[in-house]
Amino acid sequence: MKKAAKRIVLLLLVIAVLCFTVFLSTWFWPELWGSHSLGNNLYLLDWENDTKIIVYSTSKIGNTCYSGSYIIPSGPISETEEYVTDAAYDGRYVILSAYLFNEDKYTYYIISKDFDPNNYPYSEITKNKVHPFADYSVFVKKCDSLGISHLIPSRWH
């Protein structure tokens, strides 16, 4: 009986350590869960079928965001046929490239983060803070004029 009790205690201890490790990972390693904070409640999420999306969310567990309101694409990937391929950010802007797989082309976006995340409605973000560019050269010129060309990864060229 003592041997069985020791095994149960050991099993419970292992389970407790695993649960605590998972809990800690939501605070200290959100990237393990596919959550990448871009600032101002904007998150790049690793999504289904190796795709990525940008969401706005005020609901998270620890520092990990699991879902939110669509920013890019503007709705489910299956409906919009667009997903994020890459993103970069600083304190003022998020820039990203997205792939439109029904048209086999890339689009580029600049998202301005000059809003108060506690007092700015989600619908206003998508209307006023998200700027799409179908042409890469126009996107680059806008980045130059905003002083954020340094954010453009070299692999986008």
Long-range CB contacts for residues 136-143, cutoff 8 Å, separation at least 24: 136/106, 136/108, 139/108, 139/110, 142/110, 143/95, 143/110
- Residue 45 maps to a domain: yes
Q: Is 109 contained in some domain? A: yes
Does the pLDDT of residue 141 top 90, yes or no? yes
| pLDDT value, residue 122 | 79
69 assigned to some structural domain = yes
Assigned domain for 76 exists: yes
Q: Does 16 map to a domain?
A: no
**pLDDT reported for residue 116:** 83
Quick check: is 8 in a domain?
no
In a domain, residue 151? The reply is yes
Helix (H, G, I), strand (E, B) or coil at 67: coil
For the chain, the average pLDDT equals 86
pLDDT in tens, 35-84: 888 988 899 998 877 889 999 987 777 778 888 888 998 878 878 888 99
Q: Is 105 within the bounds of a domain?
A: yes
Q: How many domains does the chain have?
A: 1
The per-residue pLDDT for 139 is 94
Residues spanned by the domain of 124: 34-156
pTM of the model: 0.82
